[in-house]
Amino acid sequence: MFKGLSDRISQSLDRVKGRGRLTEDNIRQTLREIRMALLEADVALPVVKDFIEHVRERAVGQEVLKSLTPGQALVKVVNDEMVRVMGEAHDGLNLHGKPPVVILMAGLQGAGKTTSTAKLARYLMESEKKKVAVVSTDVRRPAAIEQLETLAGDIGAVFYRAESGTEPRRIAEQGLEHARRQHADVLIVDTAGRLHVDADLMQEVRDIHAAVEPLETLFVVDAMTGQDAARSAAAFGEALPLTGVVLTKADGDARGGAALSVRQVTGKPIKFMGVGEKTDALEPFHPDRVASRILGMGDVLSLVDEVQRKVDQEKADKLGKKLKKGKGFSLADFRDQLEQMQNMGGVGALLDKLPGAGKLPPGAASQFDDRAIRRQVAIINSMTREERRKPAVINGSRKRRIARGSGVEVQDVNKLLKQFTQAQKMMRKMGKKGGMKKMMRGLQ
């Protein structure tokens, strides 16, 4: 992500990072390099000027030159400035209204509106536990309507299909009515794409806006388009009261110009970022994390967030506390974990995101497929509370009873107990200080 920019900036910062002393000369050189890198990444010129000016002021001041580690201090100043131009904190969606709350998606054709509509629906369903409905008003491209219908089916969102020949504005109204009848919390309205800012289509989206009164009007824009993204956002912003931007295709080798320019040029925050073609490839846009990605500081935070969003936090916290106190990991905890794994789409989906997970032996994840997990949960459910707490009491006759109760063979009960013992060992390791870190390192 933003690789060119990231490489260039980290190279020039690497040269000063470890320095115990900086002179105005080498600060000037570093600033020149950063300025070139930003321009090449297609960041809008006013943004570049403002950025460099701010860094310069702070760099030659007390903060950097008088710091004990001037090199590091300069890196921090650059990082802070990047966060500032991207908007400081993450701006969430405003969903505080009478349901169904409407979100309108607008943008140029091919920007990723339909994909982002489905991604956002999935995100709201998973992370905010909302019931979400979607509707497409793109009557010019029936394929776009079908694309959304398929995606909605995949993720389990409510989809509204209007009769053919219905006007876009009416489709949106009917979609809202349908969402209301279905008791949806949120309705996302996908609109027709346009190749460029065109008066007729703009009027159409304005009419839709007036009809359904969205709380959020998001401009969807392709990160590959650099500072043009900011320009088209500004043009749409004149026609529509935009509340935010969805930056798509940030996973490509985009230059970073869009991410760094949009906020400053339009005054609108980037709220989400698309990082792939699948419906789960959407991340809330956190300026600080994006800045640290650009500066090559890695992005463990986003991964952590993603996992948390899908894991039942309360249970995880309870387990964490228990482990810290050195209390045993019980079969009931194991069952909670299995159920959470199921919620996350199986362990395979999670492993995809961990660095170095590709090195695990093939099939390591498949023993946790959906059916197997359900069977394991059933076995644990057939145990008594005592057995769950103290598996050592499970003797032959108890095993037979458990197997009968859950409709499996005794050998399946044995297998589960063995997997539990392994999990328990792993938990003990993670419970120790720094255990989780060590485990992650082990995977790399």
The response to whether 110 counts as a known ligand-binding position is yes
CB-based burial of residue 401 (10 Å sphere; 0-12 exposed, 13-18 middle, 19+ buried)? middle
Under the binding rule (CB under 6 A), the answer on residue 189 touching ligand GDP is no
Residue carrying the six token digits 């993450």? 90
The response to whether 250 counts as a known ligand-binding position is yes
Of 109, 127, 166, 424, the one binding ligand GDP (CB under 6 A) is 109
Under the binding rule (CB under 6 A), the answer on residue 276 touching ligand GDP is yes
The response to whether 156 counts as a known ligand-binding position is no
Pairing label, strands 216-222, 101-107? parallel
Under the binding rule (CB under 6 A), the answer on residue 275 touching ligand GDP is yes
Q: Helix or strand or coil: residue 63?
A: helix
Q: Which is nearer to ligand GDP, 58 or 122 (CB)?
A: 122
Single out the segment in contact with ligand GDP by CB under 6 A; choices: 113-121, 169-177, 357-365, 435-443: 113-121
Q: Encoding tokens for residue 229?
A: 């993204």
Could you count the other beta carbons within 10 Å of the beta carbon of residue 395? Answer: 8
The response to whether 244 counts as a known ligand-binding position is no
Under the binding rule (CB under 6 A), the answer on residue 274 touching ligand GDP is yes
Under the binding rule (CB under 6 A), the answer on residue 112 touching ligand GDP is yes
Of 16, 27, 37, 113, the one binding ligand GDP (CB under 6 A) is 113
Single out the segment in contact with ligand GDP by CB under 6 A; choices: 10-18, 166-174, 270-278, 382-390: 270-278
Helices and strands of the chain, counted as H and E runs:
21, 8
The response to whether 256 counts as a known ligand-binding position is no
Of 248, 279, 376, 406, the one binding ligand GDP (CB under 6 A) is 248
Under the binding rule (CB under 6 A), the answer on residue 136 touching ligand GDP is no
Q: Helix or strand or coil: residue 132?
A: strand
Q: Encoding tokens for residue 327?
A: 């209390």
Q: Which is nearer to ligand GDP, 44 or 111 (CB)?
A: 111
**For 166-312, where are the alpha helices, taking DSSP H only?**
168-181, 199-212, 227-239, 257-266, 287-294, 300-310
Least distance between ligand GDP and beta carbon 231 (Å): 17
The response to whether 119 counts as a known ligand-binding position is no
Least distance between ligand GDP and beta carbon 195 (Å): 10
Q: Encoding tokens for residue 59?
A: 């760099």
Could you count the other beta carbons within 10 Å of the beta carbon of residue 230? Answer: 27
Single out the segment in contact with ligand GDP by CB under 6 A; choices: 207-215, 275-283, 358-366, 419-427: 275-283
Q: In this structure, what are the phi and psi dihedrals at residue 124, rounded to the nearest 5 degrees?
A: -70, -35
Pairing label, strands 158-160, 244-248? unpaired
Interatomic CA distance for residues 287 and 381, integer angstroms: 45
Peptide bond into 100 cis (omega under 30): yes
Identify the helix (H) or strand (E) that includes residue 190: strand 186-190
Answer for the pair 295, 1: CB distance below 8 angstroms, yes or no.
Answer: no
Give the total of residues touching ligand GDP (CB under 6 A): 19
Q: Which is nearer to ligand GDP, 30 or 232 (CB)?
A: 232
Q: Which residue is nearest to ligand GDP (CB)?
A: 274
Single out the segment in contact with ligand GDP by CB under 6 A; choices: 26-34, 81-89, 112-120, 288-296: 112-120
Under the binding rule (CB under 6 A), the answer on residue 277 touching ligand GDP is yes
Under the binding rule (CB under 6 A), the answer on residue 140 touching ligand GDP is no
Closest CA relative to residue 374, chosen from 346, 410, 400: 346
> Order of strands across the sheet with 282-284?
158-160, 132-136, 186-190, 101-107, 216-222, 244-248, 270-274, 282-284
Under the binding rule (CB under 6 A), the answer on residue 330 touching ligand GDP is no
Least distance between ligand GDP and beta carbon 347 (Å): 25
Identify the helix (H) or strand (E) that includes residue 188: strand 186-190
Among positions 280-309, residues that touch ligand GDP (CB under 6 A) are 281
Radius of gyration of the chain (CA): 26
Of 193, 214, 269, 431, the one binding ligand GDP (CB under 6 A) is 193
Least distance between ligand GDP and beta carbon 391 (Å): 46
Residues 6+ apart with CB under 8 A from 243: 94, 215, 216, 217, 218, 268
Least distance between ligand GDP and beta carbon 277 (Å): 4
The response to whether 111 counts as a known ligand-binding position is yes
Least distance between ligand GDP and beta carbon 177 (Å): 24
Q: Helix or strand or coil: residue 278?
A: coil
Q: Helix or strand or coil: residue 254?
A: coil
The response to whether 194 counts as a known ligand-binding position is yes
Which residues bind to ligand GDP, rule: CB under 6 A? 107, 109-115, 144, 193, 248-249, 251-252, 274-277, 281
Q: Which residues are annotated as a binding site for GTP?
A: 107-114, 190-194, 248-251
Q: Which residues are annotated as a binding site?
A: 107-114, 190-194, 248-251
